[in-house]
Structure formats: C-alpha cells, structure tokens
Amino acid sequence: MKLELGKIYIKDIKFDDCQRIEDGVLYVSKEELTKIALSDDHLASAEFDIAKPGESVRITPVKDVIEPRVKVEGSGGVFPGWIAKVDTVGSGKTYALKGMAVVTAGPIVGFQEGVIDMTGPGADYTPFSKTINLVMVCKPVEGLKQHAYEKAVRLAGFRVAAAVGELARSLEPDETEVYETCTIKEGLEKYPDLPRVAYVQMLQSQGLLHDTYVYGVDAKQILPTIVSPTEVFDGAIVSGNCVSACDKNPTYVHQNNPVVEELFKQHGKTINFVCHILTNENVFLADKERSSFFTAKICKMLDLDGVIVSEEGFGNPDTDLIMNCKKITAEGIKTVIITDEYAGRDGKSQSLADAHASADAVVTAGNANEVVILPKLDKLIGTLDYINKIAGASETTLREDGTLEVEIQVITGATSEVGFGYLSAR
C-alpha cells in the first residue's frame, strides 16, 4: 500500500468572512464553522478562538486534538466511518495541514479532561503548545447525558477538521512524504536478511467514555487485527476517550503516531516493517486473556523477529500490557514495551500495576505524578470551573493567587505512551 502525504505548513490562523489558505495563512469564518459544528442538535453552542505558541493562554477542559486533512486521491476519505463512508484508506494522496490543530473543549464530560498552556512551564510538557490551535468550545443542550455529549463534541471536531482540511484540496504541498508497505510475500523476497518487525498498538477501550474507534467501530468490540500502518494517516483510528489527559492519545496523535513514523524510517534499512497490529484493553480477565492470546498468535503466524508494544492509559491496562509482552516473548519474539509511570509524587512507588521478567526492554514516557506549578495566565479559553476535579488535580489545585498546583497528569500529552512528547529516562 502506497500513500503520498502532502504537507502544507500553516504559519498563522485568522478569522475572516471568506475561508481559504493563502501564503501559509489559514482564514476561517466563525459563522461558517459554527454552522458546521451545530449541525448536531445535541450542542447548544459552539464558540471559536485561536491560541498561538508563546501566548499567555490556557485551554481547558480539552477533549480532543485533531489535525485537518483531506483525501485528494485514492479510495475512501478522512475519518472513515465518521465523516467518510467506510472504505479502506491509506493509499493514494492525502494532504495534511501541519503546524496547526483543531482543539475541542467545553464543560467537563468526566474527570479526565486536559489542560494545554501555550506558555510557561506547562507548555514544556505538551506538544500542543507548539501548534497554532483553532479552539472550539462546545456546550451541550440541557439534560444531555455525558456519553451523548462526548459523541456530539467528537463528531463536531471531525466535521470542522474535515471542512478546514478541504480548503487545501487544490493547493500544492510544501513537502511530500511517501510511505509504502509490502505484502507479506513481497517483504520476504525484498528484505530476506532484515529482521521482521511489527507494531502492536493497544487501544484504550475500557468501558463507557474509555473508547477508541477503528473505522467507526468501538475497539472494545474487536479482536486483534492487522492493518496497514498507512491507514492511520487517514484517520482510521480516532479518539473517543476521556482517560487521563497526560497519556491518552488524541486523534492528532493517532494521525501522527511517532512509532509508525520511526518504523517507516527504518523500513528497508535496518528492519522489515511487516504490519501494524491493533488490540484492545479490557476490563475483565477473560477478555484480557483472549486479546493477548490472539495478539501473540498473530505475531507467531507472521514469523516476526521483534515487536514494539505501546500502551494507552495506566493501572488496569498495565495488566493487558504485561500479558501481551509475556505471551509474545514466549513465542521467541523480542519485545519492547512503551509505557508511562505512576510512581507517586516522590517517585518511590511501583511504577506499573503489573510486572513480569519478560518486560526487560522498556521505554518510559515519564512519571505522571510529578508535580508542577502552573502560573496564572492572561487568557482562558474554556473554563476553570472543573479544574479541581481533573485527574491529577485536587481540591487545593486552584490557589488564591490564580496559580495551579497539579500533577503533570492534567496536561494533555505530557506522558504520551507512543512517544509523542518530551519525557523519557535513561
């Protein structure tokens, strides 16, 4: 499968009556975008704002972050199963608006929404302080249940991101990158001496508001499955979960998964990147056993030499992570796991809820319990009404002087378990 990803770099975003991209500047209409957002009658209002790197701006509660993209050639369209009809994506041409993001926010759904600071110490922990953010703050109609509100905001974000991406359809990309995968047979013939490596991505799927979707299907309903790694670039995987902000993968991260990016860089040079395997994270022991057995079976059937496994979330999913590691390793396949840690504010607690001797090659994305003081910023997009309730905060988080004492757990993307962040350890 071959995909040409055209990159169009956005240098600024401005509000204007006429929507367009001109000389690297994205012009958007509040009126037009509001119509798109409010085409769902579950939302009472949608307000738009812009947050730029370095500005004294705080965005909270953050729900999702999305990169606008448009399918220019090839089957299907962006966000299949949501915006586009269900069709296999990952081939042809796709354009991405780089350097910007659509950020959805609004009154809290659960207690695990996030914070994005565009400046100060909080900005050092989130990759989304470096993007120019088109922020959409959505409020639900009165009496709407949490799961319906989450879905309405999620879909509104996809609609807006798709509409913004559509503005790039007729443009020439500033840069184009080509990603190409082989069939199993082609890979064996083309790279007979290179180690066969696959990526096992664990998707958060542990109940209501802990959802990730694959082609529109809730991952809790899937058995481990194989996809081409190029499919994620077209939005085949999207976020619908409200787990802790530090280590949940917003849709933007799925679209730009750095594990996939790095494996493509090494493909044909140091490894044969065979495939991308998707598995879920489960609540009950029997389901955990089933998914991990299937994952290990697929790895064995593909005659893999090495596997990278990434987690999403912490605590209960640590069991799924260790089960996958243990069973894949038992098949004689070298396994590396990527996770983050919850080692307590002093760093002295057990980092993971589960462990096994086979987990002897670990990449850490940092300790989510680390405490940071976030200064009072000049502008707030969203509301601080729920800041004391967010996971990683406490009743005393909002201090009298307006500063916030929080664990970095509250910061969107602070301990990304696919490495889309800045923390690790040596």
Q: Give the residue numbers annotated as catalytic, written as ranges.
A: 242
CA within 13 Å, CB half, 56: 5
Structure letter (DSSP) for residue 38: T
Measured distance CA(173)–CA(6) in Å, rounded: 5
Contact 80, 103 (CB under 8 A): no
Answer yes or no: are the C-beta atoms of 11 and 100 closer than 8 Å: no
Say if CB 28 and CB 12 are below 8 A apart: no
**What DSSP designation does 305 have?**
S
**Among positive and negative, which fits the CA dihedral 347, 351, 356, 362?**
negative
* Pairing label, strands 25-28, 12-15: parallel
Q: Comparing C-alpha atoms, which of 165, 241, 166, 183 is closest to residue 207?
A: 241
Judge contact between 109 and 146, C-beta under 8 A. Answer: yes
How far apart, in whole angstroms, are the C-alpha atoms of residue 390 and residue 112?
5
Residue 393: CB atoms within 10 Å: 20
CB atoms within 10 A of CB 130: 13
- CA–CA separation, 118 and 128 (whole Å): 8
Four-CA torsion 177, 256, 228, 224, nearest 10 degrees: 170
Q: Which residues pair with 241 in a beta bridge?
A: 210
